[in-house]
Amino acid sequence: MKTKLKKGDKVIIIAGKDKRTKNSSAEGVITYIDRKKDRVVVEGLNMGTKHFKPTATNNQGGRIEKEMPVHISNVMYSYKGDPVRLGVNVKEDGSKVRVAIVKGERIEIDK
């Protein structure tokens, strides 16, 4: 799946257990993108428990909470707190720039 999202983009989760509701905003920053599996890790969202065995360095073992991957189709770019689509404009000099498509208007987000 092709995407215009990048590491460091602010996104909103639009589907799944962390879906944004009226009372809470499921908004975070992308920390990792796996383009082969079409998954993203969003900071502070989709928390899961990871169990690990005791090792020579850590005799205790135990559980930790960490961010789990979300399918890339379940997140959208956040522009001023609202989910928007992303597009690409080509300038006269041939360079490409990402744009947020807000109510039919194209607004540059990369400067």
pLDDT digits (tens, 9 = 90+) for 60-71: 888 989 999 999
Identify whether 71 is part of a domain: yes
Identify whether 101 is part of a domain: no
Residue % of the chain over a pLDDT of 90: 36
Specify the CATH number for the domain of residue 22.
Answer: 2.30.30.30
Q: What is the mean pLDDT of residues 26-40?
A: 93
Is the pLDDT confidence value at 22 over 70? Answer: no
What pLDDT, on a 0 to 100 scale, did the predictor assign at position 92? 87
Question: Containing domain of residue 43, as a range?
Answer: 10-83
Number of structural domains found in the chain: 1
b/e sequence 3-18, b meaning 16+ C-beta within 10 Å: eebeeebebbbeeeeb
Bridge partners of 29, per DSSP, are 10
